[in-house]
Structure 1
Amino acid sequence: MDATADTAAEISAEIAADTTGTLDEALQRLHASGPERLGRLTNHAPMAVEALAAHGHSGAVHRWLELYAPKLEEYPSAFESITGDDWREALGDPRRAADWIAYFGRELGERPWRDVLATWWPRLLPGMYGGSTHPVIRVGHAVRTLLTSEPGGATEPRVAELAHGLGYWAARHHPVTGIELLPHTHGGTAAAALDAVEPIPDRESGGFPARLGRVAGLPAWAAGVSDPDEAHRGLTELVRAATHRYATHGHGEETMLVHAATAPNAVLRALPALPRTLWAPSLHAAWTASAAVTSMYAPNAPVTYTAPGTFAPEEVFERALAHGDEHVIKFTDTALDVGDERALAAALRAIEISEPLT
């Protein structure tokens, strides 16, 4: 992305150099909690603490978790063991979250994590829209941690976090059907394609699943991409465009529109661990997710936004940490991946319009 190679190396170094074991301790602590609360809201803590560690704030992880703790629920009960023969029957059944996590725990105990990811990515990718895209985002954070653990080897809590992410994704697996690919004549860029997305009718009612069901057509941006390198460039461009767009459109729904950027960025983070043959399908699924979220929560009109000054990336992240909201932290993490001034301004906008964690 626009972030320099040095910045990416610094993130890798921060996670790998977490010699205090804070991230692993936090993940172990969180694995006693379920992936959701109230039957529909996502547990964001594993993603947020990974972002804190990635940006050198391991010392704040447990303090942040104390604030977030009231949002955690007990681990769900098991239903019935999932096997390699009957997994299709359990796909998309949120009651089976514990069963799925246990299944992936066994798989990852027997096979290298990259092999498990490569097997299951194409199975799960069509259903990345379930759980408001949070499952794939959790997997993206887990994969980043595992990649930065190499070549020394991943710790058990980091492998377990991938099992939790994949299990949550399988339990909330939700494909979309019936979306028409519309001719796109407004320019070939991702930014132009997002501008061309038509809002769904009745945007004031319904949660994510209901709104998703009202998405009837999306611009056919990147539909013809099949080359892996072009797919990587397309995903990079999409994440940049969606991040920039938040500054002027985030007020449509300050929390949900974050996912137009963080969901495709999770996919982008996973690409280095995936076979190149999966890169183009990943771009197509990520575009559908980003464009659908844009359609579902579009404001009536954009606003002009000017950042309240110029800030270094680390200063912006410190502001996000002080704010505390989990979506703000994760969106700022993505904005720092993009790394340019407009992306940092978008992160500042998220801080400005979002409710802080108290």
Structure 2
Amino acid sequence: MKALIYSVPGETEVREVPDAVIQEPTDAIVDVIATSICGSDLHVVSGDLVPDTGFILGHEMVGRIRELGSAVKNFSVGDRVTVSPAPYCGVCASCRRGNYAHCQFGGVYGCGETYGGFAGSHAERLRIPFAARDMIRVPDHVSDESALAISDALTTGAGGVTKAVTQQGRTIAVFGCGPVGLSAIHYATIWKPAKLIAIDLVPERLEIARQMGATDVISAADPREELQRITGGVGVDAAIDCAGVEATFQAAIDSLAPEGFLSIIGIPHKPVSFDIAGALRNGLNLWTGLADVGPAQTIMDYIADGLLNPDAIFNHETTLDEAPALIKTLMTSRDHGIVKAVIRP
């Protein structure tokens, strides 16, 4: 089968590799219909995230079941499915506490031995461990793109929102309107916010943010003054930092009302400073972490029922053979205009 390999820092290539095969009775083999490039894939390829190389990239996927292990009874060959980016066993101590992102036997697809050694989704086929639990059936009327969003962007954005938003009718600010930020904005509409504010410097992304539910948009390197104006000087109840840079982190902290919540789900390239004394004075709440894969089925139900439609974040489509050039473009250009690309193996 063909697969996209992370070969050395800064470089990827498409190679012929051995077919994905059943290794355990709990496995499934899926023909990949669509996969996509995540920002964390770019972190991997840059050499910032993992030390290992030579593995198949990718952790976002929708596909059709080709083969099932003998223990997988709740799916059939031919079912269209998606998966969470982080396979988890469901029975270890971490999973029993609901802490699926830190499963003792899990990891992340397409991130090398550092994250469990699971081959990635940028391939013609993918082995799914713990398939009976981890796969999510895709209803016929749900698009490949919407199912693909559940694999990471929408699940991650939803996790950040859920940690920061404690009740309906709150004022929410999302810093950074990449795929995860746009997904956070879209999922936040479930909470019926009083204000849902999108912050980014790219006009096209702010327009998509409006389509996905933002009530206000801010295009400014320093949005603090405008946030104060929009909130009447009160500040926001919840902020979600999806950019992972010093400037957005500081602006997000400063924008919070007393007792406000900040979720950090953007991956920073370098450490950021933190005024803990100021946070203590205002009773601020700070959370950071990996995607919460537990609610993925609930998110699929929202999409199936028409409450969410994340298709708008996908504005480019390509083939597996063209993926190395696309990754180069995403890593080196700021003017590519791509929000999120669908790859069709």
TM-score range, shorter chain: under 0.3
Whose RCO is larger (CA < 8 A, sep 6+)?
A: 1
TM-score (norm 2): 0.23
| TM-score, scaled to structure 1 | 0.22
The structure carrying a bigger strand percent of its residues is 2
